[in-house]
Structure 1
Amino acid sequence: MSPKKTSVQVEGRDLALSNLDKNLYPEFTKSEVIDYYVRMAPVMLPHLKDRPATRIRWPEGVHGGSFFEKNAPSYTPDWVRTARVPTPGSSTGRDHLDFIVVDDLPTLVWCANLAALELHVPQWRVGPRGKLHSPDLMVFDLDPGAPATIVDACEVARLLRDLLASDGLESYPKTSGKKGLHLYVPIKESSRTSEYAKEAAQRLESEHPGLVVSKMERRLRKGKIFVDWSQNNPAKTTVAPYSLRAADSPSISAPITWKELEACDGADRLRFTPDEALARVDEHGDLLAPLLDEDRPSL
């Protein structure tokens, strides 16, 4: 049976949306996924702009299997911006791939229609003529190893915030949309982000060895918070601010305030539905707007 299609126009671009009533989550349809991204676009798109996107697609919904998509598929519309990025060691055997860059609403809707529930981006940008810039963001992924929870991750986030502040760096938290937290640090473009982040994680571990681990081995993480500095490797990506996450019910990788983080007192806290995330933007605006400022400290 061929998919049911609906023709729409988004900012002057013609799109054919398919199977809008299909459940991509048990109680959340593709139509609702697209509606969420359209409504969140004003604050989300600036964080996607100029950053080549890795899409995680779930064509049959969150219980139907997924795949990572880096290269632009052959049916990509000619109006979708792409960027050629070196991919040494790629599983495809290709030295370069043409990534999609989600710079505008039609591209975001096109991705959502392809069941790209999650959008992941690097900490660096690509210029208008294809130049790959050095990172202008640094990120730390705080991942609890059971029985540790997000409550412990919040404690580590506060400790890491203070460590970064002692180096003159300001940090901004968001939830991972799953069990952990991300801490972002805006900086002037630098090739030292991975080196600095590793050193910072090691410093934190040396000061708090019972709570923090900076090494990658999973066996070391039990009851601790893994401060993953490795996402600053230029070849890696982090789930974008305001992206959906794939789970039994839709949750959002949502910015939070330090006050909310400090008040977190339960493992079920700091989880936001699409409607809650949208309401938070109405209340707070974009809590990660400082990541977009041009005035940034040097690393």
Structure 2
Amino acid sequence: MPVTEVEGRRLKLSNLDKVLWPEYGFTKGEALHYYAQVADALLPHVRDRAASFLRFPDGVDGERFFAKNAPAGTPEWVSVADVELTRSTVHHVLVQDLPTLLWAANLAALELHVPQWKAADPGAAPAAPVRADERLADRIVFDLDPGAPATVVECCRAALLVREALRADGLDAWPKTSGSKGLHLYVPLAPASAEATSAYAKSLARRLEEEHPELILHRMARKLRPRKVFVDWSQNSRAKTTVAPYVLRAKARPTVSTPLTWDEVEACADPDELVFLPGDVTERIATHGDLLAPLLDDHFDLPDMTD
């Protein structure tokens, strides 16, 4: 089993030639190489957030499972946040650095999902867990999901309307592809409760459905979704997570959840225009840098909804 040293940490890497995306012939070793290339852009968006992983050790065509707890054998240098829920405590990995990112990828924990809040006291002892219901959100996310035959093209139309509504409320958003069918829009916030952020997101989605019923839906019922874009506001719950920027997806091809420019959103006329593979993403970072960097610096106050 190959052993390598990454930033002073020894990593045992296994089955690097194993093909995890058969349709594309993309191997685990190539996935690790991709994550090493994009780590500088990816890590700031997940650091201090309680990570959950989608693992698929036998590839995208095999069994997959969602993992929240740090697995047995987790190295002592991997940061863990103990998050107290109503009936249990979950031992979440914090992906703080490149060695942790590559260690997780080597476990075929290749999809990384994080909440809209940061864990306090990273690495806290089990006797002092973080209470999830005390965490404050520092962003809002809208997950735009198209109901067939609608595609990401309709999601782009909806995204422009969401951004217009946000700007009217003194906010702004930054887009990325989901790496699947739709788009995600992020709004950076001064810390606010999950109840307040969820209420605002739901209110905005409902308002947009009332104004654009031919395109936008804020209700979750699947029977209502054909030909429309579901503006999913519910991922702002403390219990929900969203796939992180620059993360590979467990789809037929190794598509990536990729930050976009608003010009790309506005110009989109073909779903294939917004499908990005690992090589595309490394080239985009070289050209544009991290298009989501403003999320790390800009913070808007949540509008007052008491009126």
Q: Decide: shared fold, TM above 0.5.
A: yes
Residue among 223, 230, 249 paired with 1:245:
249
8 A Cα contact 1:70 1:99, kept in partner:
yes
Residue among 197, 200, 217 paired with 2:204:
200
- CA deviation after TM superposition for structure 1 residue 117, in Å: 1.5
* Structure 1 segments unaligned to the other structure (5+ residues): 89-93
Residue among 248, 257, 269 paired with 1:265:
269
Q: Mean Cα displacement is larger for which, 200-209 or 94-103?
A: 94-103
**Cα-to-partner distance string for 1:239-263 (whole Å, 9 max, x where unaligned):** 0000000111101000000001111
- CA deviation after TM superposition for structure 1 residue 297, in Å: 1.5
8 A Cα contact 1:87 1:235, kept in partner:
no
Residue-pair matches, total: 289
Matches within 5 A, 1:165-180: 165-180=167-182
Whole-Å separation in 2 of the counterparts to 1:125 and 1:180: 25
Match of 2:127 in 1: none
Residue among 186, 210, 222 paired with 2:188:
186
Letter in 2 for 1:276: D
**Cα-to-partner distance string for 1:134-171 (whole Å, 9 max, x where unaligned):** 00010000000001111110000000000000000010
* Structure 2 segments unaligned to the other structure (5+ residues): 125-129, 303-307
Match of 2:94 in 1: 101
3-state secondary structure, aligned to 1:200: helix
- CA deviation after TM superposition for structure 1 residue 18, in Å: 0.5
3-state secondary structure, aligned to 2:253: coil
Match of 2:50 in 1: 52
Whole-Å separation in 2 of the counterparts to 1:87 and 1:20: 36
8 A Cα contact 1:144 1:150, kept in partner:
yes
Whole-Å separation in 1 of the counterparts to 2:76 and 2:204: 43
* Residues 1:228 and 2:232 are matched in the alignment: yes
* Residues 1:18 and 2:11 are matched in the alignment: no
8 A Cα contact 1:133 1:189, kept in partner:
no
3-state secondary structure, aligned to 2:259: coil
**Cα-to-partner distance string for 1:254-288 (whole Å, 9 max, x where unaligned):** 00000011110012220000000010000000000
Whole-Å separation in 1 of the counterparts to 2:214 and 2:269: 20
3-state secondary structure, aligned to 1:72: coil
Whole-Å separation in 2 of the counterparts to 1:184 and 1:15: 34
For the aligned residue pairs, the C-alpha RMSD in angstroms reads 1.0
* Residues 1:39 and 2:37 are matched in the alignment: yes
Whole-Å separation in 2 of the counterparts to 1:96 and 1:204: 38
Matches within 5 A, 1:141-152: 141-152=143-154
Whole-Å separation in 2 of the counterparts to 1:187 and 1:8: 39
Match of 2:305 in 1: none
- CA deviation after TM superposition for structure 1 residue 42, in Å: 0.4
TM-score normalized by the length of structure 2: 0.92
**Cα-to-partner distance string for 1:82-121 (whole Å, 9 max, x where unaligned):** 0011233xxxxx5111000000000000000000120000
3-state secondary structure, aligned to 2:149: coil
Segments ≥4 residues shifted beyond 2 Å: 127-133
3-state secondary structure, aligned to 2:137: coil
8 A Cα contact 1:120 1:240, kept in partner:
yes
Fraction of identical pairs, as percent: 56
